[in-house]
Every structure is written in structure tokens, then in C-alpha cells.
Structure 1
Amino acid sequence: MRPGEDDTQDFDSNQTAPAGPAWLGPKASEDEHVTRSRAGKGLSLRAVLPNAITAAALCSGLTSILFAIGGHWEQSVFAMILAGILDMMDGRIARLLKAQSRFGAELDSLSDSASFGIAPALVLYIWSLEELPRFGWLAALAYAICCALRLARFNAQIDVEDQPHKSAGYLTGVPAPMGAGFAFMPMYLWLATGEQLFRDPWLVGPWVIAIAVLMVSNLATPSWKSVSPSGDFKLAFIALAGLLVGGLLIETWWTLVLIGVVYMGLIAWSVAGYSKVKRAKNASASTDGDAEITRPAERKPLAVDEVDEALSRPRDQ
């Protein structure tokens, strides 16, 4: 860098910033590679937009609690869905504007913890679990705590190079936004059918605890990289996305249930795919180890004195 040159200038869009806390910021997905750094020089003007979207996601997630208190369950679910959409947007926009920052990373984690951890726990408690105050509150606490633990684990492993799931194109555990969507599955079914069975706290409580366990588990789960369509299926994927939006407008609750079922299938597919990758990696490591063992030992070169001594030694007749 020349003297007097500003060290906060933009990096080349194709240049990957070195690992470290300075480049952290809102990400569209956990497997995304960051391409810019401000070297810890604070928040740039262009970073205002993605961080404002993150704040909007936080407000939307918390507003779902207000709707739940008033008994407006549909609006509460819509507010949570809007929070998830905004959460996906902030990382994409930050990357597009090259506006990732440490401030954005911290705000994004706090927003996710409140919007997809605390808010769903309180909404589900008000909707169903309060009929069993002790068990229901413990289930809600378990969900909120596991969501916070998952986000803390993700932040702690950002700079870790050895991440087997990430290197294979998968995530570890169910992401927080998808965890919130999963937790609301009984409410989707209740809104779609009107059956009080789906509001039973003895059904909702164990379900919420199961989702909490999935969030902090070590299961391989799908990432955008692992489910991205190939060239032959991109047009079909576009058509499917259009049909999905149409389904959300016409049959909102059943479409959300379908999305949850499909995602469960993708989790099973990811677990099977990662197991296959792991077995292939172990077999390759075993082959390399055997080759290392059977490799003949190299002879140590003789020193000059040793050569002279060998030549002067009388040969056996």
C-alpha cells in the first residue's frame, strides 16, 4: 500500500478476504464465502441498507408476539414468515454491496436469536403450551436456549478451517429460520383443518423439544450449495418456485406444511449423502495409510568416513 492510501477501500469482487473477525457480516447462508473486508474500520455507509433490513427482520419477528397476545394467529405467522424472508435478503444485499461488517454479524446473530428463538417460543406458549404451565414453559425455554446455542456455535466456528459438514457442502443442524418454521407446523395444521388436536400441549410440547434438539444436533442438513439445481433442472426449478408462490397465495397453510415435509426429506437425504461422503473419505485415508506403511524405507546416505571404512574392510572369501 502506498503512503497515505486509504486502507478501507473496497476489495476486488473476486478476491476472498482472509479469515478473521474483521470480515464477518450478515450472510445469506452459513456456507457463504465472504468477499470483502473493511479490516475492522467500522460501519460503511453502504452497510446501512443490509443492516436496516436485519433490524426490520428483528421488528417483524418481535411483532409476531404482539399479534399472538391479541389472538391474531394468522398475522403472527405472517410476521414470522416476513422475518424469515428479510433474514435471507440482508445477507444477499450485503454481499452485493460488498458491505459486510463485524457490526452486521453481531446484529444478525442477535436478530436471529430474538426473531427465531425467543419469539416462536413465546408465540407457541401463548397459543398452546400455557395450558400446561410448567411443562409448556420448559419446552419453550428449551427451544429458545437451543436456538441461542446453535447461533453461538455457528459464530464460534466461523474461523475454524476443519468443518467436515461445510467442506462437504452441508450445514450442521437445522438453521434458526427453518427451526422456527418447523416449530410452527402444528399451528399450520390447526389453521388448515381447525382440529383442536394440533393445539394439544402434549403434542406441541414434545414437537418443540424435538425441533430444539435438531437445531443443536450434529446432523448434516441441506445448504443452498447442496440443493442447487444443475443446468438440466434450472427451468424446472423456476417453474416450481412460481407454483410455490401460487400455492402460498391460494392454500397458504397446506403449502407451508408441504414445505416442511419436503425439508424433512431433504434432511434425510443430506444425512445419507454425508454418510456416503464420509465413508469415501475414510476409505481414501485408509488406502493412503496402507501405501505409507508398505513403502520401502529409504537408505540413509553414508558419510565419507563410513565409505572409506567400508572400502578398507577386507572382503569375505
Structure 2
Amino acid sequence: MPESKRKGIYLLPNLLTTGGLFSGFYAVVSAMNGHFEAAAIAIFVAMLFDGLDGRVARMTNTQSDFGAEYDSMADMVSFGIAPALVSYTWGLTELGKLGWLAAFIYVAGAALRLARFNTQIGTADKRYFQGLASPAAAALVAGLVWVGVDYDISGEDYGLLVALLTAAAGLLMISNFKYNSFKEVNWHGKVPFVALLVVMLVFVVVATAPSLVLFIAFLLYTIAGPVNTFRSVDKVKLEHVVGDTDDNHDADFDSDAPGEDKPDGKQEK
């Protein structure tokens, strides 16, 4: 009789996913203790783990259904709950109901995006994300908090602005705006030597003021989604912004896809 397949889970990719989950949880704990800079940085660290776990799984051929589901649950904590709580404790508490409602809109947007993604696997145009990816939304919110702490800005003094950005990030996650996934970039091909110099320059610029540079970069990326969408259609309809898509929509709109493939069997959320 053939030997039965050994049960278990792959250690390396799930260990990286656990690192991302821990970073998201650490962000929540840090925010509760008033350490907002550490909380914001922890969310960016979670993004690094999220980018690594799937790629390592694909490189080592250790993809699994368990890894895919675990990745989604970890992302809900790191890019859904953590950014909302960090934003709320930093700048939304004085707004009362308006503050926690803005934070809840973000959490609900992240949950709905993950749910929509899980039902659309295999139908993706890999060139684009459908809506703002949850790691990018988390980076936008965490970047705002990080900038505020670095420049001694009290979030409570700008509570309405913080609420607007937090809620907008949540709504953009469930929108139909298309965002470049950069999937078409050939990371294995040769590039001119000057490209290496450009990469070095980018690292230098980020190192000079990481909070400000990262926040501006993700803010511009967030704005690029609506701009790309409005430029790609002759007549903007409701389904180009939000709602279910159909065949006619596909004909007018280059993509209604969630995004790039995640190596754990997932695509970018």
C-alpha cells in the first residue's frame, strides 16, 4: 500500500506569517501604551513579513491552503485592526462617536476586501489591484501617525483630518479603483547600471526622513488609483467606483481584479 501523505504545516512561510501577526499585535499594544512611533513602525515591519512569506513559499514550493488562510487572518490583524486602533488612540479619541466610527469604517473595509478577495481568486488581471491593497492602506494610516510623532504634531489637534484619512483608506479598499500592481516588472531581467544608482538614491532619500518620505509615497499611490480609473474610461459609471462588476464593466474598464498572486496561493489583498 502507498505510504500516506505526512500531515503537518510548512514551517518557514508560516513562521514569517507569524512574524507579521506578531508585528501587528505589537502595534496594538504599543499604541495602547502611548508608544505611537513604535506602533507605526511595527505596521511597516508587518508589511515586510507579508511580502516575504508568500515569496518564500513559492521559492521553496511550500504553498498550502493552510498557509493561505493563515495569511489572510494575520493580514486582518496587521492591516485591518492594528492601523485602525493606532489611528484611534493617536488622534480620534476626542471625537467621540465620530472617531470610533471612522476607525470602524477602516476595519470593515479591510474585512470586506479580504472577503471579496477570497471569492475572486483566479479571476484577477495581475496588472492591477481592485481597490487599494490593505498593506498600502495600512501604510497610509501608519505613515500619518509616524509623521505626526516625528514632527511633534498632536493627532487630537487634527482629529477631523485623521478621521477623514482613516475612513477614506477604508472606503478605497472596497472601491473598484484600479491600482498598479507592478506585476509586469521583470525582476529577473538585466537592467542598466544606472538603475542600481537610482535604487541607492531611493534608499538615501528614505533614510533622510523615513516617516515623511514613506507617507508621501503611499499618499501619492493612494491618489493614483482614482486618477488611473478616471483616465481609463470615457464615461465614469457607478460600477467604476464601487459595487459589483459585470461583463460590460470589464469591457469599459481594464481590470476588476484584486491584484498580484501571493505565493501561498493568495493574491495581494
Shorter-chain TM-score: which interval? Answer: 0.7 to 0.9
TM-score (ref. length: structure 2):
0.77
Match of 1:95 among 58, 61, 84: 58
- Aligned equivalents of 2:27, 2:223: Cα separation in 1: 28
1:67 offset after TM fit, Å? 1.2
Which residue number corresponds to residue 153 of structure 1? 116
Offset at residue 240 of structure 1 (A): 3.4
Shift of 1:258: 3.0
Contact 2:24 2:46 in 1 (8 A): yes
In our comparison, the structure showing a higher alpha carbon Rg is: 1
| Paired amino acid for 1:202 | L
**Residue number among 170, 182, 197 corresponding to 1:212 in the alignment:** 170
C-alpha distance in 1, partners of 2:230/2:195? 23
Structure 2 unaligned spans of 5+: 235-246, 253-269
1:184-225 CA-to-partner distances (Å, cap 9, x unmatched) read 343243234334478511111111111111000111111131
1:20-39 matches, within 5 Å, as none
Map residues 4-153 of structure 1 onto 2, 5 A cutoff: 4=2, 42-44=7-9, 47-153=10-116
Q: Which residue of 1 aligns with 2:212?
A: 254
* 1:26 paired residue number: none
The 1-side partners of 2:36 and 2:226 are apart by 31
Of 147, 153, 162, the match for 1:189: 147
SS of residue in 2 equivalent to 1:158:
coil
Q: Find the aligned partners of 1:231 and 1:100 in 2 and give their Cα distance.
A: 25
SS at match of 1:171: strand
* 1:143–1:261 CA distance, 2 compared to 1 (3 A): closer
Question: 1:267 matched to which residue of 2?
Answer: 225
Q: How has the CA–CA distance of structure 1 residues 103 and 42 changed in structure 2, closer, same or farther, with 3 Å as cutoff? A: farther
1:105-135 Cα offsets, whole Å, 9 max, x none, are 1100000001110011111111111111211
Deviations 1:281-314, CA, capped at 9 Å, x for gaps = 859xxxxxxxxxxxxxxxxxxxxxxxxxxxxxxx
Alignment CA distance shift 1:80-1:4 (3 Å)? same
- In the other structure, the counterpart of 1:244 is 202
TM, length-normalised to structure 1: 0.66
Aligned residue pair count:
239
Deviations 1:33-79 (CA, angstroms, capped at 9, x unpaired)? xxxxxxxx8545xx210001101100111101111122212111111
* d(CA) in 1 for partners of 2:111, 2:194: 37
Residue equivalent to 1:175: 133
Bigger relative contact order, structure 1 or 2 (CA pairs below 8 A, ≥6 apart): 2
Distance of 1:89 and 1:230 partners within structure 2: 17
Counterpart residue number, 1:32: none
Q: Which runs of 5+ in 1 are unaligned?
A: 9-40, 284-317
Classify the secondary structure of the residue corresponding to 1:119.
Answer: helix
Distance (whole Å) between structure 2 residues aligned to residue 236 and residue 264 of structure 1:
28
SS at match of 2:136: helix
Decide whether aligned partners of structure 1 residues 175 and 133 sit closer, same or farther in structure 2, where only a CA change above 3 A counts.
Answer: same
Deviation for aligned residue 1:88? 0.3
